[in-house]
Structure 1
Amino acid sequence: MNKTLKNYHFSLDYPDVSGAELLEVLAIRDQIATLESAFSSEEQKILFEADRKLIANAVVFCQEISHFVNLYEHRKKNNISPQKWWWYLDVLVNVHEHLIPVAA
């Protein structure tokens, strides 16, 4: 398995790390974006599974990351496109909360 992918996949097994470490995970996902077209079908499956973990933990990740950066401001400052969806976890959380309201 690709070393960067392995690191990304492994990192997502520990969602309770600091926001600084989670920012590193997002930076690793940036690296993967440049590599993924060369991934084998097995590596593509592993990436899909890892991305699902990232999305499943988006609320926790956003809370921790917010101690270090405002994702909106970071995207704006660094001109990060929506194709890099992992930098839009705050948007995903917001959409999820509006589509699936918390039971009263």
Structure 2
Amino acid sequence: MNPLLKNYCVSVEFPDVSGAEHLEMLQIRDRLTEIESQLTEEEKILLTKADHQLVENASSFYQELSRFINLTERRNEQCICPERWWWYLDVLAVLPMSCK
């Protein structure tokens, strides 16, 4: 398995670790986007499952991240588009479960 993907898959299992580790996880997710076309079909399925887990626990991840960074400011400073949805955990955290 791709080492970045493995790291990401493990990271989404631990929403209660430090916001610094979550920031690294979001940066890893950015790198996975860059290489997504090179992933095997099995790896793409694992990525989708890990993404789903991140969305399901958006509130917990955001709670820890917010102690470390302001996601809104980060998005504005770096012009992060909605296609990089993992940088919008603050928005996802307030959506009803039926919308996720």
Q: What's the TM-score once normalised by structure 2's chain length? A: 0.92
* Unaligned 5+ runs, structure 1: 100-104
Which whole-Å deviations, capped at 9, do the CAs of 1:58-97 have from their partners, x for residues lacking one?
0011111111111111100111011100001111122227
Q: Which protein shows a greater Rg?
A: 1
Q: Secondary structure at the match of 1:62?
A: helix
For structure 2, the 5+ residue unaligned runs are none
* Corresponding residue number in structure 2 for 1:9: 9
Alignment of 1:1-104 (within 5 A): 1-96=1-96
TM-score by length of 1: 0.89
* Whole-Å separation in 2 of the counterparts to 1:27 and 1:18: 15
Give the letter aligned to residue 52 of structure 1: H
| Number of residue pairs matched by the alignment | 100
Give me the identity figure in percent: 50
CA distance in 2, matches of 1:93, 1:83: 17
- Where 1:35 maps in the other structure, the secondary structure is helix
1:53, CA displacement in angstroms? 1.0
Deviations 1:13-51 (A, max 9, x none): 222101111111001100100011111110010000100
